Chain A
Amino acid sequence: MIRFSSKTIRRALTASALALPLLTSASVLAHDGEEGPQPTGVVKERMDAMKGLKDALMAIRGTLGSEETFDQAVVTENAKKISAVAGEPLLALFPQGTNEAPSEALDNIWTDWENFKIKSGLLKTKADALAVAEGLDASKAAFGEMAQSCGGCHKVYRLEKEQ
């Protein structure tokens, strides 16, 4: 029978106590989907641009809750930000074949480029319409249409990630 000295036990406990935060942070990272390769180059630029679009969308959403929260200036400013990224600048972020991990871009972007171009242009049109919409109801309607144009590309050209 093997007997452990109290020193051995203490050492083992210390080691596992030290390892615990490491394990926890690793599992937290895995939940956040941060594991795997980190984006570089144009993939990183693209993901940063998408992050910028998300932030603009949430800024607009934040004001569209009610008449009390509604802020025309916030809507207009963020719609212009989205418009500035949509269309040609967005297309430039998708050079042929740049979909190495962790990119979620699908190959059909490049086999179906003309349609992708049209859809990217549609986002610009819809963002411009939102920038000139006046009042809560009109802004809400224009915001919904613009979001649908985001989804229009995500449905066809994006790898659906696990949630």
Chain B
Amino acid sequence: MAKQRFVSGLAAGLVGMALVAAPLQAAETIKVGTFLAVTGPASFLGDPELKTLQMYVDEINAEGGLMGRQIELVHYDSGANPKKAVDFVKRLIQRDKVDVIVGGSASGETMAVTPQVEKAGIPFISLAGSIKIVQPVKKWVFKTPHTDRMAAAKIYEDMNKRGIKKVALISGSGGFDKSGRAQSLDLAPEYGITIVADETYGSKDTDMTAQLTKIRATDAEAILNFGFGTGPAIVTKNIRQLGITVPVYQSHGVASKKYIELAGDAANGVRLPASALLVADKLPDSDPQKAVLMVYKTKYEAKHGSVSTFGGHAYDGLFIALEAIVRAGSTDKAKVRAEIEKTRGFIGTGGVFNMSAEDHLGLDLGAFKMLEIKNGDWTLVN
């Protein structure tokens, strides 16, 4: 009996010591929290993002960490479910006590967690596309990917150069598609463009010839398709099947080799705005981004196979956060936030970031490259 009590007392003592030791060690690591859609419908975003974060955190730790402190990545898989994302962000803030959050693959989950982040006062860099994330500006929220509005603007700029005035819009039913459609409609008058058709399709539809037949009957001089997944590839094939010859524009949602593979020959001549990462090896050596892009691309591809722009957004987010921590000299949340806002001339995969109190993205249209697909590969349009 007495012995048993002694043993349990010892155990309690050990547990107590462990509890004391834990916060000490925690104070030494820099905790980067993240929630990403690694599974589920947006897994093509979350998967490369998580791989990128893990790869760089491991690398920095192997080289002795940041300011002599190891980095700890705390990850949860949100499955692009906003409700889950809110729970995970609460856990990151309250239980894991992370110093900064870099995550949120989809716009929906990012918008859902924003009130939590603002209330807790923790620097948060989102990896999602919508312009609504940073407009109006929220004190603690930043983002790295180009917005859908920028994509629409870049496309219209190119249309203006080619003298295209009448555009037929076709978009899917997903969140990205709808937001892109809204921005395209909104921006059109600014560039003197008339939208002569506005068609939609279900994200899992197998044939869009009905919508495109309607578009064929209009006097559209170009077709603009906002979407990702199978939809844009089917649209592209259906356009060629119907013998429509006007120029076709896609959004940055199809900026992966998969799209070219799926659409095959029909993809030739299609133009889209995309991050320079896709054409890293084709950029002139004078391009400031080239070195950064080539290093990221080589590292990622050596480990995980073909690079995607989405993983690049995670790279940008992580390093903007870490550089801000180094400049702040601590993980004090207010100081780190202020330093993130002061990010100037940061060369990332998405472009050159110049943030300010009014701009929590810091990219301009120059960050997008206009690409044209030729013979199954990307080429730069000048």
Are A and B subunits of one complex? no
Chain A residues with a Cβ under 8 A of chain B: none
Chain B residues with a Cβ under 8 A of chain A: none
